[in-house]
Amino acid sequence: MSNGLEDLQQAFKQLRLSEVSLELPAFMREAEQKSWTYYELLNHLLKYELTKREEKNKARRLKWAKFPYQKTLEDYDLSEQTSLSERQMRQLMEMNWLEQQYNLILLGPPGVGKTHLAVGVGLEAIEQGYQVMFLPMGELTTILKTSDYTRKSQIALNRIKKSDLVIIDDLMYMAMDPMEANQFFQLVDYLYE
C-alpha cells in the first residue's frame, strides 16, 4: 500500500496538486476511519487543495502590496471621524467602486487616519481577490525615474501596472518637477486604459 500511496502522491505532484500530495496519507486514513465514499474523498481532497491555494495566493498578494502595516477597516474608529459614516464605510468594503473603476481621494490634515483607511481598503480588496499595490509618492517617483535603468524599478512598475488597485500615499506631500509630473501623468493615463 505504501508504494501505491507514494505513486499516488507523485501523481498528485505531477498534476500540481502539491498540498493534497503532502496530506494524502492523512486523508486516506480519515477516509478509511469514516468510511467515506469515493465522491466524499475526492470532494475533501479538492476542497483542501483549493483552500491551500487561496491561502498562498492571499499571502502572495499581501506581500506584493507592500503595506507599511496591516490595519483593517474594522479597526478604524468611526466615532473620531465625523466626515465618514457607517454607510460609507460599508460601501468602501463592498468594493463596488473598484469594479466600476472609481477613484478614491482621501483628503485631510495629518493624523486623521487617511493612511489607515487606505491600508484598510487595500486589505479588504486583497480579501476579495484583487491585486493591490501600496506605495508612497516619493517611492513612486523614484520608480518612474529609474525604470529605464534598473531591473528592480522595472519589476515594480510592472507590478503597479498589473494591479487592480494602486494606492498612492502622500500624493501631495512633495512637489514634482515637470519631468516627474509627466511620468506620473503617463502612468495614470496607462492605468485608466
Residue-wise pLDDT for 128-168, tens only, equals 999 999 999 889 988 988 888 899 999 999 999 999 999 99
Whole-prediction pTM: 0.79
Q: Which CATH architecture has domain 73-192?
A: 3-Layer(aba) Sandwich (3.40)
- What integer pLDDT is reported at residue 174 of this predicted model? 64
**Which portions of the chain are predicted below pLDDT 70?**
1-3, 172-174
Numbered ranges of CATH 3.40.50.300 in the chain: 73-192
- Give me the pLDDT at residue 33, please: 95
Cβ-defined contacts of 22-31 (< 8 Å, 24+): 23/48
What is the reported pLDDT for 1?
A: 43
Query: Is residue 127 exposed (0-12), middle (13-18) or buried (19+ Cβ within 10 Å)?
Result: middle
Three-state SS for 174? coil
17 close to 49: Cβ distance less than 8 angstroms: yes
